[in-house]
Structure 1
Amino acid sequence: MQSLRADARRNRARILETARAQIIAHGPDVGMSEIASAAGLAVGTLYRHYPTKTDLVAAVITEQVERLAEAAEAAWVRVETGSTASDELLVFLRGVIGAAADNGALRVAAQTLGTEFACPPATARGTAALRKIIAAGQDSGNIRRDLTVTDLYLLVATGPLDHPEQTRERWLELVSPGLLP
């Protein structure tokens, strides 16, 4: 696969960030022309990169999953360099819940459009980093012995995503004892 020119890469990044912001601000019905205009690009440029809105929403979600994988990997690096695994796990969870809450309109857009997306490499990287963090915390005794990555995914999936930050913070405060011994 041929790599994109620098201007095409910049356009893609601008489109994805603008699409995310426009969907969050205006809901899942925001038009492709509004997204292109907000990105400062011709609508043809948008369609050249993403032929349908479904393709665009899938790309935005894929990028968000990539960011979460990067956050998990960064948390693991901090654990490797001396940070406490339990602290990093809680910071990561706070970030995931916050991002999921911020991206609620993206979830609605994906459901409305029937968007299918797969991010196996990013998901695998994030899962691997979380497994390492959990194992390090279990070895040091500051994460409960039976905690798994699947447990974390369950917590996030059932978290208070449609509630204000204060409620999400209270949720994290309440679930933390279930993560730590």
Structure 2
Amino acid sequence: MPQARALRADAVRNRKKILNAAREQITLHGPDVSTDEIAAAAGVAVGTLYRHFPTKTDLVAAVIGEYTNHVADDVEAARQRAAEGSRALDEITGFLTRVVEATATNHAVKAAARTLGAHPADTDAEARAGTALADLIRVGQRDGDIHSDVTVDDIYLLISTAPTDQPSAARTRWLTLVLTGLTTHSRITCA
């Protein structure tokens, strides 16, 4: 199997500009934004865009892949903080808050992925996130803060049903209600 050739510095810059522009344009204009508009926003020719991403679905999948990697990095950092003495429940609360807020600002990207059928080809980030989240849940359960039957799938279900198209106050209220259901505490209030 031949080794992949490293991208030139200008190609790396162009790819990054295209991904940034795609994220921004899809968020601003929704999934129907054209590749011509994305290329123009990136400051590259549409041919350059297609050299990096042969289809719009490939481009959206790359944007979603970046986001998934960011989520995995976030939950791994939360797991590390819990290992260093932070309360797992606080880390899960922070993680849920960050993911819901980030998804609220990337709502159009999520819609574009559903519309175009884009899925990141690399599932490593999703596996990393799941492992770190499972570790956090176990620590929270061991500490007596999280119900013993809560799973990673439960957290993913909650995130997928978050009111990301609602105002911040509604998202905060949703988080308060969700955490009350996940925890052994009678009431959790999120600020």
Q: TM-score, normalised by structure 1?
A: 0.93
Structure 1 residue 62, shift from structure 2 partner: 1.1
> Which structure carries more helix by proportion?
1
Alignment of 1:1-181 (within 5 A): 1-181=4-184
Aligned residue pair count: 181
Q: TM-score, normalised by structure 2?
A: 0.88
Structure 1 residue 127, shift from structure 2 partner: 0.4
1:31-52 CA-to-partner distances (Å, cap 9, x unmatched) read: 1121111112222211110111
Alpha-carbon distance in 2 for matches of 1:10, 1:62? 18
1:68-122 CA-to-partner distances (Å, cap 9, x unmatched) read: 1111111111111221100010110011111222222112222332334444201
**What is the CA RMSD across the aligned residues, in angstroms?**
1.5
Higher relative contact order (CA 8 A, sep 6+): 1
The one-letter code matched in structure 2 to 1:96 is V
Percent identical across equivalent pairs? 54
Where in structure 1 are there 5+ consecutive unaligned residues? Answer: none
The one-letter code matched in structure 2 to 1:102 is T
Where in structure 2 are there 5+ consecutive unaligned residues? Answer: 185-191
Q: The residue matched to 2:112 in structure 1 has which SS?
A: helix
